[in-house]
Amino acid sequence: METWVQVVELVVWPFTIVVVVGLLRAPLSKLVPTLKRLKYKDLELEFEREASKILAEVERDLPEPKRSDNVEERGPDTPRFSRIATVPTDLVMCSWSELESVIRDLVGISAYEETSVRSLVDLLAKSGRVSDETIRAILDLAALRNRVAHAESEVISAGMAHSYANSVRRVKAGLGGIDA
């Protein structure tokens, strides 16, 4: 009998931890994407760090678009964007929507046709009219957009949203000289 008590004492804490982690797994998995920063002792996760890295790569790999006098400017610092510029998530979503529209126009797929971003990018890559850097940037921007879209609360700062919109402008320019 005493052996059984010792076995139970040894097993009860690991079993309790497994049960608690199992019960909290779903709520924690929903919480993690909404965090901008999580710090515990030496572990620090910054969700904006990944976005900064991607946006810096876009700035490095894709040139600043040339401004044209005869094309309506549609960047993040224009009056058209002024209403949504105060909500970072909306700025990201609107910027992505415009980029996706440009990609759809280039590959000849209507906005009414359900097509995944990956399929659109594959068609764009197969056309041979776009550099590998631009394709990578589009996929990275799509991943960031998805993280922002599926988060239950703000995960991106206003500054990061403006950087995102500027990166989208660069990508759109790289897709054929389209001035964003």
Using CA atoms, how far apart are residues 44 and 27, in angstroms rounded to an integer? 20
Using CA atoms, how far apart are residues 40 and 20, in angstroms rounded to an integer? 19
The pair of three-digit structure tokens given for residue 66, joined into one six-digit string: 């040339």
Which pLDDT tens digits describe the chain residue by residue (180 residues)? 788 888 888 888 888 888 887 887 777 666 655 555 555 544 445 556 777 787 888 888 777 766 654 444 445 445 455 555 567 888 989 999 999 999 988 888 887 888 888 898 899 888 888 888 888 889 999 988 888 888 766 567 788 888 888 889 888 888 864 443
Measured CA to CA in angstroms, residue 105 lies from 40, 133, 142, 172 at distances of 46, 20, 17, 12
Domain extents in the chain? 1-34, 47-174
Using CA atoms, how far apart are residues 135 and 38, in angstroms rounded to an integer? 31
CB atoms within 10 A of CB 15: 11
Q: Is 12 helix (H, G, I), strand (E, B) or coil?
A: helix
Residues in contact with 94: Cβ distance below 8 Å, sequence separation at least 6, in sequence order: 81, 84
